Amino acid sequence: MSMTTSPAPPTGGHDLKGVDDLALAERLAEVEAPPIPKSQRRLGRLASSLGWAFVGLAVFVAIWALGANHVKNLPSPGATFSALRTLLADAFHDGGPNDKGIGLLLQASLTRVFKGFAIAALVGIPIGLLMGSSARAWKAMNPLAQFLRPVSPLAWYPILLIIFLDADKASVWVICLTSLWPIVLNTAAGAASVPRDQHNVAKVFHLKRTAYIRHVLIPHTIGSTITGLRLSMGVAWMVIVAVEMMSGKTGIGNFVWNEYNGGNYDKLTASIIVIGATGLVLDFIFLRLSKAVRTQEAHS
């Protein structure tokens, strides 16, 4: 048990008295030694990251090349890259519904993803806020969410076809259902983590509901909501490829399937690279967004 409240007498500090000349000189020498500039250290870190990334990539390409030598129809890295060059050279070629450049295919797929994603965000964020701030809403919706979440989004596709009678609309809604759960559950977790003292401040000062949402709920939730959005976008981009294989509508997933059926295996592997790169860019955008928000909302 601690009984004293008076502060301890000051000890230590930068008292140089009694230090002999040699020690003093050593200290001064320490001070004089210039630290490595920040920019140089950052450059070093970047070089190290890039270097090791290159090592990982090289190992992967080597295994791939080895595999391509042994598997009859598997395109080699070289063949894939020349196919990629051909695809990118005429990315916005438009020769009718079954003959579009890779850029237009990406655009079609991304449009579906963004539509479904936007609906999921508009619906999911309010639901998540409600679930996280009301124990009753949580109890009412959490079991349902946990039950529906593990259902493969593709299983919804036929049901959505029955409802919308249109492959394109059904695809958008599959993406919406895919994106919904990470957004809802992350937002709910964020809203549930509002510190109790902040609740109490709202009660003591009689904050109105709108003020509470603006000044307490949203600032404490937005970080996890953006994490949810980022996860959703990642899954949505994976799922759209599968959905388009089923729907047969113009898009990158459909392209993958068509090139397989047409025996253009080098274009098949090239399109995987395009899909991966697009996913990487999407993730990077959300990562930056979440960093920006964290800086802006920095809590005490």
Partner 1 sequence: MSLEIRDVWKSFPHKGETQQVLRGISLTVERGEFVSLIGHSGCGKSTLLSVAGGLISADSGTVSLDGDVVTGAGPDRAMVFQNYSLLPRLSLEKNVDVAVASARPEHSRAERAELVQRYLTAVGLWEHRAKRPHQVSGGMQQRCAVARAFAVEPRVLLLDEPFGALDALTRARLQGQLIELWQNESETEIVLMVTHGIDEAILLSDRIVVMSNPPQPSIVDVIEVGIPRPRDRVSVLDSPQFRAVQERLMRVLTINGEKAA
Query: CB 97: neighbour CB atoms within 10 A?
Result: 8
Q: Measuring CA to CA, how many Å separate 229 from each of 180, 217, 298?
A: 9, 18, 19
Contact (CB, 8 A) for 210 and 251: no
Instruction: Supply the minimum distance, in Å, between the C-beta of residue 195 and partner 1.
Output: 7
Return the SS3 of 99.
coil
Contact (CB, 8 A) for 266 and 80: yes
Angstrom distance (rounded) from CA 272 to CA 253: 10
Instruction: Supply the minimum distance, in Å, between the C-beta of residue 228 and partner 1.
Output: 20
Question: Which phi and psi (to 5°) does residue 94 adopt?
Answer: -130, 100
Return the SS3 of 151.
coil
What lies within 8 Å, CB to CB, of 131 at 6+ separation is: 137, 138, 141, 142, 145, 184, 187, 188, 191, 192
Nearest to partner 1 of 5, 39 (CB atom): 5
Report the run of H or E that residue 79 belongs to, with start and end. helix 77-89
Instruction: Supply the minimum distance, in Å, between the C-beta of residue 73 and partner 1.
Output: 58
Nearest to partner 1 of 88, 211 (CB atom): 211
Nearest to partner 1 of 217, 275 (CB atom): 217
Instruction: Supply the minimum distance, in Å, between the C-beta of residue 202 and partner 1.
Output: 9
Instruction: Supply the minimum distance, in Å, between the C-beta of residue 124 and partner 1.
Output: 22
Angstrom distance (rounded) from CA 264 to CA 85: 15
Nearest to partner 1 of 22, 298 (CB atom): 298
Nearest to partner 1 of 175, 191 (CB atom): 191
Instruction: Supply the minimum distance, in Å, between the C-beta of residue 225 and partner 1.
Output: 15
Nearest to partner 1 of 141, 218 (CB atom): 218
Contact (CB, 8 A) for 179 and 238: no
Contact (CB, 8 A) for 216 and 287: no
Instruction: Supply the minimum distance, in Å, between the C-beta of residue 122 and partner 1.
Output: 22
Residues that bind partner 1 (CB under 8 A): 1, 3, 5-7, 195, 197-198, 200-201, 203-208, 211, 214-216, 218-220, 297-300
Nearest to partner 1 of 14, 299 (CB atom): 299
Instruction: Supply the minimum distance, in Å, between the C-beta of residue 211 and partner 1.
Output: 6
Tokens at 194, concatenated? 């509002």
Nearest to partner 1 of 136, 206 (CB atom): 206
Per the listing, tokens 């579906």 go with 112
